[in-house]
Amino acid sequence: MEIKKIGVMGAGIMGSGIGQICAVAGYPTIMSDISTELVNKGLASIGSFLSKSVEKKKITLDEEHRVLGNIQGTTRFTDMSDCDMVFEAVVENIDVKLKVFAELDRICKPDAVFLSNTSSLCITQMAAGTKRPERFLGTHFFNPVPLMKLVEVIDTMMSSKEVFDIVYELMKRLGKEPVHAHDKTGFIVNRLFSTYLLDAIRALEEGVGTVEDIDKAMKLGLGHPMGPFELLDLTGLDTNLAIANTFYEEFRERRFAPPPTLRRMVMAGRLGRKSGRGFYDYTKSK
């Protein structure tokens, strides 16, 4: 199977990042979202990243123009009809994702491969809702997509090995280091790491230390580039709440249950960097 054109559903942080690495690798890429405003915001994010790369002399101006020439924005589902592969990178909500794939399944050619970018949701459930479960896989990219090398490639009991191998090799061409994960809740990284983030919030609730001191301790004590609260703010408290709810629904264990502080911060709209305030206030310097 030759991949000639790639589609990306969703122009947010993850979608625009995926669209960018596809365009950098030379693939004609079309990125879609529900409004022109969101599409333009995603394209602007890509343009800003590339401009900074030119300023830092990491790429040339010609390379910037080449990449921008490879990516196109749209608000129409039908523009995905001739894509050979479509990444879905919409909100971390199973009902929304199922609706997106139902529409893509109707529009796209039968041999197109579908990939859901998710951090915890069931790939099997999404694949079973389409007419191409053998051509459906999961991918879990990490934020920021253009810089983070890892991607988890997730198969199901219905996945074609041939399709899996094609996607795995494509990830390498996109400049990533893929790992093979099976469709188990949380896959590899989040299965092990999400409890660390939730425990950090519980430690805060129990008065073990302040946000700043817990972050400082984990960075200096364990060599982590970011503390748990910095990472929670970066990835989004709403996203982390959704992941925790998925885990708890699956396992019913306290270690996976979202702490009250996390729930209340999301209710209050304190989602992290994306909203300007989470555990830290980004409307002013820390």
Answer yes or no: 245 catalytic: no
Catalytic residue among 152, 159, 230, 275: 152
Query: Radius of gyration of the chain from Cα atoms?
Result: 19
Catalytic residue among 140, 194, 240, 275: 140
Q: How far apart are CA 262 and CA 202, in angstroms?
A: 9
Answer yes or no: 140 catalytic: yes
Catalytic residue among 119, 159, 194, 275: 119
232 touches 279 (CB < 8 A):
yes
Q: How far apart are CA 160 and CA 193, in angstroms?
A: 29
The β-bridge partners of 31 are 8, 73
Answer yes or no: 190 catalytic: yes
Catalytic residue among 32, 70, 190, 240: 190
- What residue type is 241 in one-letter code? L
Q: Where are the beta strands (DSSP E) in 54-169?
A: 71-74, 85-88, 113-117, 136-141, 150-155
Q: How many CB atoms lie within 10 A of CB 187?
A: 21
118 touches 189 (CB < 8 A):
no
CA 122 vs. chain centroid, Å, equals: 14
Answer yes or no: 119 catalytic: yes
User: What residues are labeled active site?
Assistant: 119, 140, 152, 190
